[in-house]
A and B are shown apart, each in its own frame.
Chain A
Amino acid sequence: MNVELRHGMKPDLTADEAARGRFVSGLRSLILNDLAGDLKAAYDRRAAPAWERAHGKPPQTSSEAHKALRGDPAFNIYSAMRVQAQKMVWASVADSVEREAGRLASAAAAAAGKVKLNPALAVPKNVGAIDVHLMPGSYTRGGETVEAGAVYDRGLAVFSMGLMGANLDDIGLSMSRYISLKYPDFQPRRILDTGATIGHNTLPWKQTYPAADVIAIDAAPGGLVYGAARAAMQGQDVEFVQMCADRLDFPDASFDLVWSSMFLHELSKKQRAAALAEAYRVLRPGGLMLHMELPPNAEMSAFDGFYLDWDSWYNEEPYYKGYRDEKPPELCAAAGFAPADYVQFVVPSIGIYGEQAIADMIATEAAEAVGQATTGRLAEGVMWFGFGAFKK
C-alpha cells in the first residue's frame, strides 16, 4: 500500500513519520476505491434520477453530474475526506523534509547532478502562486533548495499508494515501453521532457533509449535541483534545465521526442497551446510529441468525466477541467501536426499488469479504448492515457 522510495534521496523516517504516511496511503485507498464506489452508487440511485426528474434527461456533462451530486451525503463524505486526505499527504512528509534538510542539501551537492538554473526566469503563476493540488508553497517552496523536490517526491510516494511504482516512474516506464514496442523503428537521439518536476517520469526514457541525450525542463528551480541529484544517484545521465515549455530556448528541429506527463492540465489554455506549438517547432521530421494525460471529457460519461474533473474544483487544479474539455486531436492540429499523424492510446500500468499486458494490447490493438473507471483514475487497476502526433 505504502511505497518506500529506492534512491539516494529517500527519507530516513522516524517510526511515527512512517506510520503517519502509511495511514494516509491507506486512507486514500479507502476513499479512492471504496468511497468512490459508494459515490457512483449514490449517483445512479439518487443524484442522476433526481436530475432527470427535474430536467427531463439524465446529466449530460461533467458539470451537470457535479451539480446533480452537490449536497448528496455520499458526495459530501467522499469530497470532505478526500480534501483532508490530500492535505494530510503533504503534512505527513513536512516534518521529515525539514528535519533532513541539511543531509539532503549535502547529498545533492555531492551527487553533482547536471542542472542549469535561470534566475532571470519569471516563474508563471500556475507554478508558484497557486498551491497546486493543495501542496503548500507549490513547486516553488524553498526556492532553489531541494525542499520542493523532497516534498513532492515523498508526498507522491504517500499519495500514490504504490500505484506509481517504487520510484514513482510507472507512467514513464509504461509509456516508454509502449512506444518502443509499438514503434520499434523509432529510435530518438534527443529527448525533451517538459514540465518534468523531479524527473521521475523522465528517467524511464533514458533507460529505454540509453544512447539518447535526455533533457528535463521545468519552470520551478527546486524540483530540478532535487531531480538532478536524484537522477545522478540512480546513475542516469539526464540534464535538468530551468525553462518554460511554452517558451523553449532550443533551436528548431533539435529533438526527436518531446514528452510530458500529467503536465498539460496544469497550464492555462493559452500556455498549453503555446507549449504544443513549441513542441512542434523543436521536433525534427519523424519526431514524436507525446503527452501522458487525463482522458478527455468527450470520451467519458458524465459521471466518470466529473469524477476526474473533481480536482478542478476541490484540489486546486484550476485548469484541469478546461484541459479535459478540449479535444486532443484538435490541440495537435492547432499546433501544426497533420491530423493523419495523430496518435492516441491507453496503456496498462506496467507495475500492475506487467510488461506482457502492454505487448498483448498492442498485438490486439485494444490499447485505443478509454476505460471509463480505470483510465487516468488513480485507483486499483489504473491505466494511463497518452496522445500526441508524429511530425512528418
Chain B
Amino acid sequence: MSDTPRPDDTPPGLYDDAGNARFFADPAMDRFVAVVMNMAQELWVQEERLLALEEARGGETVDRDARLKAFIDRMFAPIRGA
C-alpha cells in the first residue's frame, strides 16, 4: 500500500509506515475499531444461528434485515452524534 500514489495536496500524517490510514492520535485505537467491528460481526453470526434454531423449532420466520438493523443500531448507539 505504501507505493500507492496519493493526491498532490495530501496532508502529512495520514498514514502509518505501511501506508495504512490513521485517524486517531493513538494508532492502537484504529486497530481497536476494527476489533470491535469484527466482534460485532461474529456476534451477529451467532444471532443468526439462534434465529435459525428458533425458526426450526416452530417459531415464526424472522425478518433478518429488520432484526439486523435493530442489532446494529443498538450496538453502535454510543458513537452516534459524535
Contact = CB atoms under 8 A, between A and B. Distances in A.
A314 interface: yes
Given A79-B23, A84-B37, A74 B82 contact: yes
A2 B48 CA distance: 14
A319 B5 CA distance: 8
A377 interface: no
B79 A77 contact: yes
Nearest to A31: B76
A111 B6 CA distance: 41
Interface string A15-54: 1101110111011011000110010011000000000000
A18 B7 CA distance: 37
Interface stretch (A62-70, A206-214, A237-245): A62-70
Contacts of B7: 63, 309, 312-313, 318, 321-322
A63 B7 CA distance: 10
Contact of A77 (B5, B8, B14, B82): B82
A379 to B, nearest CB: 15
Given A26-B72, A77-B82, A129 B49 contact: no
Contacts of B11: 66-67, 70
Given A34-B80, A322-B7, A23 B1 contact: no
B61 interface: no
A27 B1 contact: no
Interface in B11-31: 11, 14, 21, 23-24, 29-30
Contacts of A312: 6-7
Q: How large is the interface on B (under 10, 10 to 19, 20 to 34, 35 or more residues)?
A: 35 or more
A345 interface: no
B45 A316 contact: no
Contacts of B76: 30
A73 interface: yes
A234 B68 CA distance: 32
B34 A23 contact: no
B6 to A, nearest CB: 6
B13 to A, nearest CB: 9
Contacts of B10: 313
Contact of A42 (B4, B6, B69, B82): B82
Interface in B45-61: 45, 47-49, 52
Contacts, number: 109
Nearest to A17: B45
A287 to B, nearest CB: 33
B33 A318 contact: no
A1 B49 CA distance: 19
Nearest to A92: B41
B21 A79 contact: yes
Contact of B41 (A1, A20, A318): A20
A83 interface: yes
Interface in A287-342: 309, 312-314, 316, 318-319, 321-322
Nearest to B13: A70
Contacts of A83: 21
A130 interface: yes
A24 B41 contact: yes
Contact of A19 (B5, B9, B45, B72): B45
- A22, A80, A129: residue with the most chain B Cβ atoms closer than 10 Å: A80
B65 A22 contact: yes
A107 interface: no
B53 to A, nearest CB: 11
- A77, A85, A88: residue with the most chain B Cβ atoms closer than 10 Å: A77
A26 B68 contact: yes
A206 B44 CA distance: 40
A76 interface: yes
Nearest to B41: A23
B16 to A, nearest CB: 12
Interface string A134-148: 000000000000000
A211 B9 CA distance: 48
A1 B14 contact: no
Contacts of B68: 1, 22-23, 26
A75 interface: yes
7 contacts: A35-B80, A73-B82, A77-B33, A79-B23, A81-B37, A88-B41, A313-B6
